[in-house]
Amino acid sequence: MLRHIVIATLVVIAAFVASPGWAADVEGKVQRVDTSERTVTLDNGTKIWLSDGIPIDGVKEGDQVKVSYEEKDGKAVATSVEMK
């Protein structure tokens, strides 16, 4: 019985450790585009890294955007960028 409890506890702990970061959306005006870092900074100060699947040349300073992103390694990494 104790063995089953220990195994169940380890499974629950592993689920929390291996869980992906949280996801969110943010809207704003692009204030800065850094092509070397593949980042976009919005007018509210939010810095977002663009994943490889998102073309950075499609995002320009002054664009109104809605960005969906996930936290990965402490960074906000965009999963999609929609022009408004």
Instruction: Tell me, yes or no, whether 2 lies in a domain.
Output: no
Count of C-beta atoms within a 10 Å radius of residue 17? 7
Q: What mean pLDDT do residues 62-71 have?
A: 94
Q: Give residue-wise pLDDT tens across range 24-66.
A: 899 999 999 999 999 999 999 999 999 988 999 889 999 999 9
So what's the pLDDT on residue 1?
65
So what's the pLDDT on residue 20?
55
Domain count, the chain: 1
Contacts of 25 (CB under 8 A, 6+ apart): 66, 67, 68, 69
CATH number at residue 79: 2.40.50.320
